[in-house]
Structure 1
Amino acid sequence: MNDRRRPPASHTASARRDASLSALIETLRESAARRDLAGGHAGAEKQRIADAGLLALAVPREFGGAFGGAFGEGGLRWGALYETIRAIARVDSALAHLLGFQYLQIASVDLWGNAAQRANWLQGTVEYRWWWGNAVNPLDTRLVAQPDKAGGWRLHGKKGFCSGTWGSQMMTVSAHDPATGKPVFAVVPTTREGITVHDDWDPIGQRQTDSGTVSFDAVEVRASEVLNRPETPRASLRTLVSQLVLTNLFVGLAEGALDEARAYVLAHGRPWVNAGVQRAAEDPYLQQRFGEMRIQALSAAVLADRAASILDAAWEAGDDLDAAARAEVSLAISEAKIVAHRAALYAGEQLFDACGARATNAALALDRFWRNARVHTLHDPLDYRVRDVGRHALTQELPEPTLYT
């Protein structure tokens, strides 16, 4: 009797992802420094990500994607998606950001959409290989929603920090309703009449995230496009999915800086004149520096993996997820993000102490690891996140849901 069994669907999906990801990363690595210096839209690289079959990993299997949440052997879990983001971030954190926010918008539809919306937009993502942009930022109230007589809305104004909108086919958007003071959430095609995506993103880091300003001039939002976000713990997981995207970007940056420093020192490093050794790799102070970088990066990775596991469990709970369990996810992500934040900045700076003066050659763009980390670690204040963790350590009080926790 043949006892061999077919591998679980999750293993098959992981194998396909790993094969595509490995080749993609090597391609991105070859051009990462040059593209960072040039900035602008990475259209060709985004096409390679789409061709690698990575755009729909967060789409549930029932709609043709690879995601199974935490439900048995039915597909990939959040941990696998974050591993994908982190792997790309080691060589190109801007493109990892774009893919992470792709998964975030898909999760938004999955969490907030009704049955018809989920079927339409999630199946469409698989069939048409849509890139999704993000214009959801409730703190930016410049974009105003006015009721339309057809039962929908008209959008007037601007949104900033709209990651991934340039070159996208669909976008999620939030607008301010002056009558209620609450946000209106919706999905619209990026090419809809009245939408203008501005090429005005010019920061010191994360330069290819297409995160510029989007203008809306009387843009129609149909009633069928409005996302009715429920006030439930499960619906609020969208914020935590977002925060863990950023956490894994930081982990990838720390690991990538360590990899680049190691490669440079082994190929080009020279021992200091007073070191008394023949090779740079034998210098005990250099070994100590690499040890500190490794410890911080590894600590961040372990905490990020732990947080993803807790998120998976919360996702599995579905509508039974309660506020306390949701808060445990928030706490785990804050703990991971704090350590990853510090690790990314530390590794990006220590890279130069490890590699020496010649590593500052601008063409190498080795400063991109620190610059990318510095830009993204300003997303929300670290001090408030540390405060939440410290308050829990003292009083066992769990963090309250906010736009960032």
Structure 2
Amino acid sequence: MTAEQRLPDVSGAQPLFEPRLFPADFGNRTAEVERLARRLAETAVERDRAGGSAPKERELLRDSGLLSLAVPQQYGGQGVAWPEIYRIVRYLAAADSSLAHLFAFQHLQVATILLFGTPEQQRHWLTRTVQERWFWGNATNGRDTGLALSRREDHYELNGSKSFCSGALGADALVISAPRGSNPEDRVFIVLPSQREGLVINQDWDGFGQRQTDSGTVQFEQVFVDSGELLGPVGPSPRTTLRACLSQLILTQLYLGNAQGALDAALRYTREQSRPWPASGAASASDDAFIQQRYGELWLRYRSAVPLAEQAAQLLQSAWEKPALTAAERATLALAISEAKVVAVRAALGITSQIFEAMGARATSSRYGFDRFWRNVRVHSLHDPIDYKVRDLGHWLLSGQGPTPSLYS
């Protein structure tokens, strides 16, 4: 079934989010993105309540034609710049943060192959990604050292497990990482088909937010790995450390998408359903001066965060296009992403919790699902402590030294 058959025509429909506040302009991809976001939004509340996996919605992502955005044109992909990909992630996250997470991590795995794979590996895996319409998952949690890669006579073998494996369930292929030794920072990336014998993907993710990201555990028992399935050889360089930057900026977009979704939903509810407080003297909730002030404050938080994310995305694109990135250029990028992420986390947590003060008690009814925005941000913002991002910024201000590249910076 084609994307046109699965996704309805919305050319004459009202925009999903208020365009005056949240414009949806993705060039010649705007219609596809809007169709996809609309379909995801239709069942987002019910699916969030149910948890588990969302195979039908994953197929919507596949059928949208947007999974090949980051694949270079030479391999049959669309070769879209990162700032546009990030804007699409943010927009989809406003509709359904879990599926936006899966969508974004698809492009992170593509980027991993581009950063660490040989030209032949890139051609092989990314051409298949486009031709076979693959969905990628991951088992790359760097802090989880429960997976061991061992050398055998003519191949390698994986034994152990990985946790927080977003997108693994239902994926066609996986990007996996395993430590080379005792240092978790020194790891090798591996690409495997998800149906490889001895590989078991568990449906055991039970976080109270991001509930349909398929982020459970993956177990490996004597899993065969051909030497050609180890990405590389690639030595450490400022360019290869861009993977952490890409990942951190994905998280930033998810936070801002939830903030956008929460603001849009709350504004609509206030206009259409909220009642003015008796002491306000206002004819409607929209005329209540305190509610107006509340929304003004929340809007300022959102508007302050978005430009930082956009600026960081532009810097990342510039770094991505450089054949030889310097350590200083990489540090400048990492600092910009830290700024964007910290401000986005704080803005999103504040917005997604304080909308209720503007909407009132009736808005806490479970049928609306407004709490999902806060739960999504709260769970995902714990991915790595923002305190360390703030410390990096302070250290740079005092010493002039940028952050040391790591799994999270």
Q: TM-score, normalised by structure 1?
A: 0.92
SS of the aligned residue for 2:122 comes to helix
Match of 1:190 among 176, 188, 194: 194
2:26/2:88 contact within 8 Å kept: no
SS of the aligned residue for 2:95 comes to coil
Q: How does 1:55-94 map to 2 (within 5 A)?
A: 55-67=67-79, 76-94=80-98
Q: Hey, what does 2:8 align to over in structure 1? A: none
Match of 2:210 among 206, 210, 221: 206
1:142/1:176 contact within 8 Å kept: no
Q: Hey, what does 1:297 align to over in structure 2? A: 302
Q: How does 1:2-401 map to 2 (within 5 A)?
A: 14-67=26-79, 76-150=80-154, 152-178=155-181, 182-228=186-232, 229-318=234-323, 320-401=324-405
1:145/1:184 contact within 8 Å kept: no
C-alpha distance in 2, partners of 1:78/1:176?
A: 28
SS of the aligned residue for 1:362 comes to coil
Deviation for aligned residue 1:180: 8.0
SS of the aligned residue for 2:221 comes to strand
- Encode CA deviations 1:170-196: one digit per residue, 9 max, x unaligned: 101012344887423210011100000
Deviation for aligned residue 1:254: 0.9
Which runs of 5 or more structure 1 residues have no equivalent in the other structure? 1-12, 68-75
SS of the aligned residue for 1:392 comes to helix
Instruction: Label 1:329 to 1:370 Cα distance change in 2 as closer, same or farther (>3 A).
Output: same
Q: Hey, what does 2:14 align to over in structure 1? A: none
C-alpha distance in 1, partners of 2:39/2:188?
A: 40
C-alpha distance in 2, partners of 1:303/1:154?
A: 43
SS of the aligned residue for 1:402 comes to coil
> In structure 1, what residue type is equivalent to 2:191?
V
1:148/1:154 contact within 8 Å kept: yes
Indicate the larger mover: 330-339 or 22-31: 22-31
SS of the aligned residue for 1:187 comes to strand
Report sequence identity in percent: 47
> In structure 2, what residue type is equivalent to 1:268?
Q
> In structure 2, what residue type is equivalent to 1:57?
L
1:250/1:340 contact within 8 Å kept: yes
> In structure 1, what residue type is equivalent to 2:189?
F
- Encode CA deviations 1:347-377: one digit per residue, 9 max, x unaligned: 1101111111111111211100000000000
> In structure 2, what residue type is equivalent to 1:153?
Y
C-alpha distance in 2, partners of 1:273/1:196?
A: 59
- Encode CA deviations 1:121-179: one digit per residue, 9 max, x unaligned: 111111111110110122111001110211x3100000000000000001010123448
C-alpha distance in 1, partners of 2:319/2:220?
A: 36
SS of the aligned residue for 2:43 comes to helix
C-alpha distance in 1, partners of 2:197/2:321?
A: 39
1:93/1:372 contact within 8 Å kept: yes
Deviation for aligned residue 1:251: 0.8
Indicate the larger mover: 186-195 or 169-178: 169-178
1:85/1:249 contact within 8 Å kept: yes
Deviation for aligned residue 1:396: 2.1
SS of the aligned residue for 1:199 comes to coil
Aligned positions, number:
383
C-alpha distance in 1, partners of 2:181/2:408?
A: 23
